């Protein structure tokens, strides 16, 4: 099983989603993350994401930002978008129905069909990162439980 987490910059939300989910599943489940934009390619996750993850025992410092590519539809079984905008941007790149069906809004795992977004914490303070952590921890626990079934 291969799972990709996607946000805009791949420095705040999706690196957290990657780290949290990988911490909850066995090593043979491959978890990665990417961004729909290229602004931060090659960079470490945001220091505030690194800090909140570290607080809960998760290390993000081996991650580097990369841009989502159409080849990711071949590599991954499931692609989780953090917000509605990322979701639409990924769907636009899908080449067929099978690829479209791989793309999901991550918070719909918590509340089916609610179409809630993980708020972008980039321009806010540390509280936003704690909130994002808690939202993603809940969603990733549900995803992990389904995978390990
Ligand atoms: P992310 O947050 O999509 O959760 O990684 C952002 C990071 C950078 C920018 C926007 C959102 N930016 O505009 O540079």
CA atoms of 105 and 41, how far apart (whole Å): 23
At residue 24, the pLDDT reads 98
The answer to whether 133 and 12 are in contact (CB under 8 A) is no
User: Which residue numbers are catalytic?
Assistant: 7, 13, 120
The CATH number given to whatever domain includes residue 13 is 3.40.50.2300
Q: Which atom of ligand 1 is nearest to the CA of 15?
A: 5
pLDDT tens-digit map of 35-77: 999 999 999 999 999 999 999 999 999 999 999 999 999 999 9
The residue whose CB lies within 8 Å of the most ligand 1 atoms, and thus the one to mutate among 12, 46, 89, 131, is 12
**Which domain does 127 fall in, by range?**
2-148
CA–centroid distance, residue 133 to ligand 1 (Å): 15
The residue whose CB lies within 8 Å of the most ligand 1 atoms, and thus the one to mutate among 7, 9, 136, is 9
Share of the chain above pLDDT 90, in %: 97
CA atoms of 111 and 64, how far apart (whole Å): 30
**Residue whose CA is at the smallest distance from ligand 1 atom 7:** 9
User: How many distinct structural domains can be found in the chain?
Assistant: 1
At residue 124, the pLDDT reads 87
Distance of CA 74 to the CA centre of its chain: 17
pLDDT tens-digit map of 88-121: 999 999 999 999 999 999 999 999 999 999 999 9
Q: Is 8 touching ligand 1 by the criterion CB < 6 Å?
A: yes
Which 8-state DSSP code applies to residue 79? E
Say what the pTM is. Answer: 0.97
Phi, psi (deg, nearest 5) at residue 81: -85, 140
Average pLDDT of the chain, as a whole number:
97
CA–centroid distance, residue 12 to ligand 1 (Å): 6
């Amino acid at each position: 099983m291969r799972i990709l987490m996607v946000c805009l910059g791949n420095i705040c939300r999706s690196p957290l989603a990657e780290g949290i989910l990988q911490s909850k599943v066995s090593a043979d489940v491959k978890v990665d993350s990417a961004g729909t934009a290229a602004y931060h390619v090659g960079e470490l996750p945001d220091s505030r994401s690194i800090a909140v993850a570290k607080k809960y025992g998760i290390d993000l410092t081996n991650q580097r930002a990369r841009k989502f590519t159409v080849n990711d539809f071949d590599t991954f079984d499931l692609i989780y978008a953090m917000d509605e905008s990322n979701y639409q941007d990924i769907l636009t790149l899908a080449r067929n129905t099978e690829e479209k069906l791989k793309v999901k809004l991550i918070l719909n795992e918590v509340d089916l069909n609610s179409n809630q977004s993980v708020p972008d914490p980039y321009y806010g303070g540390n509280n936003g990162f704690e909130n994002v952590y808690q939202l993603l921890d809940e969603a990733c626990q549900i995803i992990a439980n389904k995978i390990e079934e």
